[in-house]
Amino acid sequence: EHGLNAKKQAFSPTESPRKKVACRRESFQLLSASISSGTGNPAEGIKYYEKANDLIEKSKLPDADKESYIINSILWNVYFLSANGELDKATNEAEKGRLKVESRKIPGEEMLLNGVLGYLELKKGNFDKGIQYFSNSWKESPWIWYYTAVAYQKKGDQANASKLFEKITKWN
């Protein structure tokens, strides 16, 4: 709740130009979805995701911006579905996202794809595959470190898990 309230203030569109308002509203919905899912309420996260999609579809953003939001939306939906235990739906959505990301070859999108695929594989119990995807995601992300550590922990590799958990405590 505190995170959502802080983000509402940070993304307040009252003084922004029209285009930034649309971008901020879409970003806020996706961020709210992420916070809700990450704090144990993935069903609420999916509602925010659906609001973001609706805003993206209705927006008058340039096509390149809209496509970027669509890809981010698809990939975060994989995360939300995975967090909600809907692994078959998440797998299907991941394939849609993979095709879009691979056609564009934008490094940030590729790293997000790998992070989300790692999370999906972690939820499926495929820990080695999850670790492999995480290793191709953001190298300096506590989110990636955390889920990589969880994957190591679940496969019984306490040494690597502990190193990453320690790294998280020293981050910042």
Measured from the Cβ of residue 38, the count of other Cβ atoms closer than 10 Å reads: 15
pLDDT band, very low/low/confident/very high, at 26 (cuts 50, 70, 90) = low
Q: By the 8 A CB rule, do 46 and 33 touch?
A: yes
Among 6-15, 22-31, 65-74, 87-96, the range with the most confident prediction by mean pLDDT is 87-96
Query: Residue 140 has which token pair?
Result: 């300096």
Supply the pLDDT for residue 135.
98
85-123 tens-digit pLDDT: 999 999 999 999 999 999 999 999 999 999 999 999 999
Give backbone dihedrals phi and psi of 62, rounded to 5 degrees, phi first. Answer: -55, 150
Please give the residue that has the higher pLDDT: either 170 or 43: 170
Query: Does pLDDT of 6 surpass 80?
Result: no
Supply the pLDDT for residue 132.
98
